[in-house]
Structure 1
Amino acid sequence: MKLLVRDRLLGFGEDYWIEDERGDKIFLVDGKAMRLRDTFQLKDRRGRTLIDIHQKMFALRDTMVIERDGEPLATLRRKRLSLLRNHYRVTLVEGTELDVSGKILDREFVIEYDGEVLAVVSRRWLRLRETYGVDIVREDADPALIIAVTVCAINLAEKERDND
């Protein structure tokens, strides 16, 4: 499943649609501006909230929390002992871990589980400016979770860049 994401041009707080290859709107990323912490909602095309994403307020390292139906689903934080600057670890509540690594600010990275690629995020296969693709490779992967992880990784990488 390939999805197209048009980068937010005006920064945090702007809503944007994620479309499939035919141009049909699949997900809406609803950025909640004017909050103390970064907050997003991933909604379906009918406006129903699928996933809530927010920054954990009191954490030693920047951490994003992903929730579904008010229950924690996963946390994403920068991997501690990584030589790569843009390497994040996603820990699902049941203990499964995903790795996110690559050039996140350039929108060129992968999401992996146990060394197997779940999704590839890339601008390479698109000609549209300010657009990147999310190619969900495994059929059994949860598209909403993959998009949530992508949003979190990009948000944290942008915050790191801005803090430097």
Structure 2
Amino acid sequence: MPEPLIRPARSDDEDALARLDRETWSPLHEVRPAPPKPGEPFFRPTCGPDAHLVAEHDGRVVGYVRLLRPTPLESNAHVLQICGLAVAAEARGKGTGRALVRAAVAEARRREARRITLRVLGPNTVARTLYASEGFAVEGVLPGEFHVGGRYVDDVLMGRSLL
């Protein structure tokens, strides 16, 4: 699979993104309950198309990354946070996740952020390895912060400077 096209999300991506969210959900990487059933909205008032970049291959949505401000505080406005990343099974291990992370970093720079952060569950070593390879460092660990999949797991805080 060649490198995917990364583009801003559009409102007409909603069904494809909702389907991808349902298909990729796992307690390995998600603390929220399983995504809503078909027909329920993917975009929300606080998290619309402008908060997402989409990976497309042969005209099909195969991934997304969600980039938001971590808090509404003006004193924190210089930071953006990756608040979701999903890659379709057939696009995994083929550079789609890496392309989305790089696009999120580029978008954060375009928005003049000084830092980009994320949170990832401790057992999700595939994602942690990807983020580390793209310059994110572990900046903190909240031991046993979440109880998912029948066990307590760490919440790993990662970030990097954009300067």
Of structures 1 and 2, the one scoring higher in RCO (CA 8 A, sep 6+) is: 2
TM over 0.5: no
| TM-score calculated relative to the size of structure 2 | 0.30
Would you tell me which structure has more strand in proportion to its own residues? 1
| TM-score calculated relative to the size of structure 1 | 0.30
Would you tell me which structure has more helix in proportion to its own residues? 2
